[in-house]
Structure 1
Amino acid sequence: MIEVRDLVKRYGGTTAVDGLSFQVRPGQVTGFLGPNGAGKSTTMRVLLGLAAPTSGEALIDGRRYATIRRPAHRVGALLDAGAVHGGRSAYDHLLSLARTNGIRPRRVIALLEEVGLAGVARKRVGGFSLGMRQRLGIAAALLGDPGVLLFDEPVNGLDPEGVRWIRELMRSLAAEGRTVLLSSHLMSEMALTADHLLIIGRGRLITDSPTRDLTPDGTSLEDVYLRITAGSVEFGAGR
């Protein structure tokens, strides 16, 4: 489970996250929505120990990320598909991660097959499209078979078939009892994928609700989202 308690994150005079509290429970896909600058990426970075909170807590299974032993086996994440050494092959990239986390090479081979990259496993990542890098990033997140997963805009660069694949993957991971937090700007896809929605604006929680409760009688999630977030866009207010 993911739990954020009264989280505040400031960068100088800018407040990116402002007293944010929520829970992400296992067994469902939780969508994380908000305008650009709402604080979504900052919250994920704090959860993963990449940024220190100004105050409050961001916990995974009741612990701060920095205190988790063998974190790759507990938490997987894709925040930036471009954060890969372009000179390495897809196989070598995953193999290096596997070796540093005590994971067998056969897991690398299995994941490359699962994400559809087996045919380009020995090619350099520098020549990959954004969609291929997204698939590689997802494989890296799944490498340790973790119970908690965080994905920031994983459908960027994917074609319709790839978007459908992401949807099915997210739902299958949740069905296995994992905790899945998914950020995306594609409202139509989020309506099909997420069981629960967290909507934030200006670093604060606006809505915490099951998706079905926000879209009764076929109401468009995009329309609901635009209505809920109206007035919550403030450039420079968050990251």
Structure 2
Amino acid sequence: MIRCEHLTKRFGRTTAVDDLTFDVHPGRVTGFLGPNGAGKSTTIRAVLGLDTPDAGRALVGGVAYRDLQQPLRHIGALLDAGAVHRGHTARAHLSALAAAAHIRRDRIDQVLALVGLTDVATRRTGTLSLGMKQRLGIATALLGDPPLLILDEPVNGLDPEGIRWIRTLMRTLAAEGRTVLVSSHLMSEMALTADHLLVIGRGRLLADVAMADFVPPGTSLEDAYLDLTATAVDYRTQPSQGTRP
């Protein structure tokens, strides 16, 4: 389980995450929604130990990320699919991570096959399409066969077949009992994928609710989301360039 307890993070005079408390449970896909600048990325970075909270804490399986032994075996994340060495092949990228995490080499072939990259495994990542890079990012997240996954905009750059594939993958992983947190602005995909929703605005929790209870009969997820967040968008309060919302 992922747990945030009174999580607070400030950048200068801007409070990006404000006393945020929630749990992400296993066995379901949890959608993480909010307007631009709501604090989603900062929250995810705090969970992954990339940002240090000013108050509160973020836990992965009951401990802070920095205290995990072999973290790739505990939690996998897709944040920026383009953050790979352009000169390395897809296989070399995964091989380096596997070696550092003491993961068996046959797992590399397994995840390449799972994401449909076996035929391009020896191509340099700089030559891959955006969709292929996205698949490589998902392969990286799955490399340690972790029980927890965080995916930020996982369908970015994917064609319709790829979007259906990642949707099915996320639901399959949740059905296996894993914890899946997915951040996305695509309401149509969240409506088809998520079982539960966390919605934040201006760094505060607005909703922690089952999908079925969030969307009233006769309306859409997009309508319900926009109604809830209508007063949570104020771009004048955004952090200045160089900070992370």
* RMSD value, Cα: 1.0
- Matched with 1:67 is 67
Amino acid at match of 2:100: T
Residues 93-172 of structure 1 aligned to structure 2 (within 5 Å): 93-172=93-172
Instruction: Kindly provide the CA deviation profile for residues 101-140 of structure 1, in whole angstroms up to 9, marking residues without a partner as x.
Output: 1111111011111101111100000011211111001000
Partner-residue secondary structure (3-state), 2:52? coil
Once the two structures are TM-superposed, the CA of residue 149 in structure 1 deviates from its matched residue by: 0.6
Sort the Cα spacing of 1:189 and 1:76 in 2 relative to 1 into closer, same or farther, 3 A: same
Once the two structures are TM-superposed, the CA of residue 218 in structure 1 deviates from its matched residue by: 4.5
Partner-residue secondary structure (3-state), 1:23? strand
Partner-residue secondary structure (3-state), 1:157? coil
The TM-score normalised by the length of structure 1 is 0.98
Partner-residue secondary structure (3-state), 1:17? strand
- Matched with 2:82 is 82
- Matched with 2:232 is 232
Instruction: Kindly provide the CA deviation profile for residues 174-215 of structure 1, in whole angstroms up to 9, marking residues without a partner as x.
Output: 000001100011101101100000000000000110001112
Matched, 1:52 2:17: no
Residues 153-192 of structure 1 aligned to structure 2 (within 5 Å): 153-192=153-192
Distance 2:179 2:218 in 1: 27
- Aligned-residue identity in percent: 62
- Matched with 2:195 is 195
Once the two structures are TM-superposed, the CA of residue 219 in structure 1 deviates from its matched residue by: 2.0
Distance 2:216 2:228 in 1: 15
Partner-residue secondary structure (3-state), 1:20? strand
Distance 2:220 2:144 in 1: 37
Once the two structures are TM-superposed, the CA of residue 14 in structure 1 deviates from its matched residue by: 1.3
Once the two structures are TM-superposed, the CA of residue 23 in structure 1 deviates from its matched residue by: 0.5
Structure 2 contact 216–224 (Cα < 8 Å) conserved: no
Amino acid at match of 1:60: V
Once the two structures are TM-superposed, the CA of residue 233 in structure 1 deviates from its matched residue by: 1.2
Distance 2:21 2:119 in 1: 43
Matched, 1:25 2:55: no
Structure 2 contact 30–196 (Cα < 8 Å) conserved: yes
Structure 1 residue ranges without an equivalent (≥5): none
Distance 1:68 1:231 in 2: 38
Partner-residue secondary structure (3-state), 2:109? helix
- Matched with 1:4 is 4
Once the two structures are TM-superposed, the CA of residue 25 in structure 1 deviates from its matched residue by: 0.3
Residues matched between the structures, number: 239
Amino acid at match of 1:137: G
- Matched with 1:13 is 13
Amino acid at match of 1:83: A
Distance 1:228 1:217 in 2: 16
Distance 1:170 1:218 in 2: 26
The TM-score normalised by the length of structure 2 is 0.96
Partner-residue secondary structure (3-state), 1:217? coil
Instruction: Kindly provide the CA deviation profile for residues 16-41 of structure 1, in whole angstroms up to 9, marking residues without a partner as x.
Output: 10111110000000000000000001
